[in-house]
Structure 1
Amino acid sequence: MKAMTETQERTLAPKQTGGKPLTSVWRAAGKHKYLYALLLPGLLWYFIFRYLPMYGVLIAFKDYNFSKGIWGSPWVGLKHFEFLFGSEDFYSIVRNTLVINLYELLFAFPVPVILALLLNEMKSLLFKRTIQTVVYFPHFLSWVVFGGIIIQLLSPNEGLVNNMLRAFGMEPVFFLSKSEYFRPVIVLSSILKESGWGAIIYLAALSSIDTEQYEAATIDGANRYQKLIYITLPGIRNTVLIMLILKVGYLLDVGFEQIYILYNPSVYDVGDVLSTYIYRIGLQSAQFSITAAIGLFQSVIGFILIWTTNRIAKKYSEVSLW
């Protein structure tokens, strides 16, 4: 066989090493064009409603004025951040936000996992579907409706909870007006409203576990508890870690609707959080530059938290967001 010249070797080298010409990338994109077309609306939504509004972050460094617009308003540098970090109210609000989120992380986060495990163990399909419908339903109610239900249940005069306390000879409790009760009410109402919906993710993860593992464990004599410990929990561990990483990223973000519906001035010391503070300062007092500074602060801290948690998860397990 005639020996190849040096030029021929260089020409054939990319093919021998598995290199792909650029045209093959476009050819693959054309092959899956309909899938990319389905992806396009989602990308456009994120670009329009998530990336374009980042332009408004500029007002955190300006003394924003409606008549002058964003570019016409004068630059003030870090003036608004200095005001925030020098305010005792701001630290109190950040503390309230962190405490409520840590309570939810500690008490509310495990509930969907436990609920999914319990639903997965149910043998009666009809009973399982009924329970699922009941626990999913509160998610589809707005906080205006669900919060109104909570207020009525905890009413000191006609509420079901206080009527039960009276039946046992106890005095009625003003749950939503006492600082020591407000945070537990927030956490409990979050559990009642969202735990059923959150369980869907874990039920999907449970359905992906190979049933042959349970059959093999049964043959080996494993009981239900041993199957839970050695098969079920390891099977959903990755999903739990991913959800935990995402949850930690929102430690400085408490839902505005829930707090705004349930709180009142008597519990501002424990219930006033960043979202309600932004509403009062931004919309009621029209101090948009300060609220933009708070929003930027939230975003930066949230990114640091989610990046740190992801690094820890990546180091000590095989699961991470990136």
Structure 2
Amino acid sequence: VTLHQGELVCLLGPNGAGKSTLLRTMAGLQARLHGRISLHGDDLTRLTPAQVARRLSIVLTERIDAGAMTAYGLVALGRHPYTNWAGQLSAEDEGVVRWALTAVGAADLAGRQLNTLSDGERQKVMIARALAQEPALILLDEPTAYLDLPRRVEIMRILRQLTRQEGRAILLSTHDLDLALRTADQLWLMAADGSLQTGAPEDLVLSGAFGCTFPSDEVTFDLQTGSFRLLEQPIGQVDLAGNGAGAFWTMRALERAGFAVEQGRNGAPVQVEVLNGDGRYRWRLNMNGQSQICLSLQALLDVLENKR
């Protein structure tokens, strides 16, 4: 497999497949069992630690207990491969540290102690530290773990921006499948047996490889929605008429309640039409020869539940 400059690649797979092991091996932190790892055509094992550190950086999941160290101080550690024996920062090094903090949107955190940062802020600083090494390749092991949804999206946006604007190659492992599908240029799918499939996210979805990477008797990957859904026997069928956001969320609500939803199925015993007038949604339910208007999705679900 090959990583190219300017690409954001997400490494996906079930727990225990070996994603972290692969990242550590690529970074030279673990000895490889077989094969060859090349950086710009050079065998990784033939490079000195300083040479490796100038070409790649890695951000692991382990939290660093840095005491009262500031964010600036941590990012400055990324300049270690370039400093003299005393570790003194030159004016150029100082400029790179400031640039790295700015690149990840963390310039305002420079003077903060690490133990006062939130998980999202700390992760941005860790990425800045990796960026301060000025590597061609950045490896990250689950960088969005423990973050809330807005922070996960922000971190992925930052990483994608670094590939686009700075030309870095970035490989990260993640369990956030939806974000990976939406943001990655390439996916590396690692199955439970350690085998690897690579390609554009959409190609891997359409070929069935994405769904097969996460086999389960309880969930299945839905090609139509690009998400996993529970495998349950439907409690009934509903024909849905409508479009746009109203129809999308109506379908979500009906499927969550256990109904199989189809669109354009004439003659279905239960029909729901999404109405949108004056900026308000309403739902017309036709069932058992009767028609009624529901003013909310909860009201619609309540009626369907009571009339089953």
TM-score normalised to structure 2 length: 0.21
- Which protein has the bigger strand share? 2
- Which protein has the bigger helix share? 1
Q: Which has the higher contact order (CA 8 A, sep 6+)?
A: 1
TM-score normalised to structure 1 length: 0.21
